[in-house]
Homo-oligomer: A and B are copies of this chain.
Amino acid sequence: MSGTRSFTSAVSKAFTEGAALDASKLQITNNPKPSCPLPNDQLVFGQTFTDHMLTIEWNKGKGWSAPEIKPYGPLVLDPSACVFHYAFELFEGLKAYRTPDNKITMFRPDMNMIRMNKSAARICLPTFDTDQLITLIGKLIEQDKSLVPQGQGYSLYIRPTMIGTTNGLGVSTPDKALLFVICSPVGPYYKTGFKAVRLEATDYATRAWPGGVGDKKLGANYAPCILPQLDAASRGYQQNLWLFGPEKNITEVGTMNVFFAFRDSKTGKKELVTAPLDGTILEGVTRDSVLALTRQNLDPKEWEVNERYYTITEVQERAEKGELLEAFGSGTAAVVSPIKEIGWNGTDINVPLLPGEQSGPLTKQVAQWIADIQYGRVKHGNWSRVVADLN
């Protein structure tokens, strides 16, 4: 009953009762009609799926049932299921890649699984042993390994999802849930290399707020952001640059984290900056990778890499002084997405690009660093996990 109380840990105990998620109990039913891979040029993000899906049911008391890999097919749910009424739903997005030695690897799946558990706990859906789910997703990928596309920019997009499946209209903790994973072979987000985007800085609609759920990957954070995007599009901007508060802090772009690069015109020192993880910012895996790689690879005499608050006013003022170097979004789908213009307060803030190109030099460099690791050309700690061997 304190005014500054936060969540108690006691609450989550109910979700650890019953059987733990156990990959060794996996049951596989083969799809009797295996499909052929689509030509790479026909792959559209999230439009076609592999032949199999992973499903795992959870039940309060009993815990996690035996996982199943079975033919991709529809879900059958009562119209009173709580996922349809109260948005008991969360998801993850990660990718698997073919490496030069013909293996398939997942990129940093541990990060996604940890975040998935945080999302689940926040809306009273069950948590799970992350290693077990990684193992199971690996088996799902192996099952359809022939459908993982080849080539730079091509990958298998993996979508773990969890929904509450309790029937009945009372607003309460789900006592049934379904965890499912589907996979979509995808091409590069931008078909012909980068395509820098125009953003509209948005303060009339608010993506997330303190005490809310903007740092969790819940369905609830997505539907409300479409109308502002359509509105921005009607004025010629592809995405929203989400601002927060009277200070107009820059938080995210569209469904991505966002980075800005500045150069201090007095000292000559450069800075890469992104918003801090204060509970309103999605804990992006690509965001974390960009921070780690730039901190590791950029010369600290030349660059500072900072997680700090910064405002659209700072961006505008520094652009006017010639101190704005670059800006890009970061996310699993596009990896990095360069920005060329930001509409704000009746003017367009121009973001420099390399002459004749669609990105700045740091954006390009970061994209290359990440791709080299994702496609197995460069090893980086345990960021790549082998899940299948095509040899």
Contacts and interface: CB of A to CB of B under 8 A. Distances in A.
Interface of A: 1-8, 10-11, 45-47, 49, 53, 72-80, 83-89, 91, 93, 121-124, 157, 159, 161, 163-164, 168-173, 180, 182, 184, 200-201, 203-206, 209-213, 218-228, 230-231, 234-235, 237, 248, 255, 343-348
Given A85-B89, A123-B226, 19 more contacts: A1-B346, A1-B347, A3-B203, A8-B231, A11-B234, A45-B169, A46-B170, A53-B79, A79-B182, A80-B184, A85-B222, A87-B222, A124-B230, A164-B223, A171-B222, A171-B225, A172-B226, A206-B212, A219-B220
Contact of A218 (B74, B87, B161, B184): B87
28 contacts: A1-B200, A1-B237, A1-B345, A1-B347, A1-B348, A3-B203, A7-B231, A11-B227, A11-B234, A47-B169, A72-B79, A75-B76, A79-B182, A84-B163, A85-B89, A85-B219, A86-B222, A93-B169, A124-B227, A171-B225, A172-B226, A204-B211, A206-B209, A206-B212, A209-B209, A209-B212, A212-B212, A220-B221
Contacts of A221: 87, 220
**From A88, A182, A211, A228, residue with most partner B Cβ within 10 Å:** A211
Contacts of A2: 345-346
Given A1-B200, A203-B4, A219 B86 contact: yes
A161 B85 CA distance: 7
B79 A220 contact: no
Nearest to A219: B87
A85 B122 CA distance: 16
Contacts of A220: 87, 218-221, 223-224
Given A170-B46, A203-B3, A220-B223, A75 B72 contact: no
A228 B122 CA distance: 9
A180 B6 CA distance: 38
Contacts of A228: 7
A170 B8 CA distance: 36
Contact of A204 (B6, B218, B255): B6
Contacts of A93: 169
A234 B5 CA distance: 13
Contact of A49 (B80, B122, B204): B80
A293 to B, nearest CB: 26
A173 B230 contact: yes
Contacts of A230: 11, 124, 173
B74 A76 contact: yes
Contacts of A224: 122-123, 212-213, 218, 220
Contacts of A348: 1
Contacts of A122: 224, 227
**From A184, A218, A227, residue with most partner B Cβ within 10 Å:** A227
Nearest to A199: B1
Nearest to A5: B204
A74 to B, nearest CB: 5
A169 B157 CA distance: 10
A2 B74 CA distance: 44
A156 to B, nearest CB: 13
Nearest to A217: B85
A212 B88 CA distance: 19
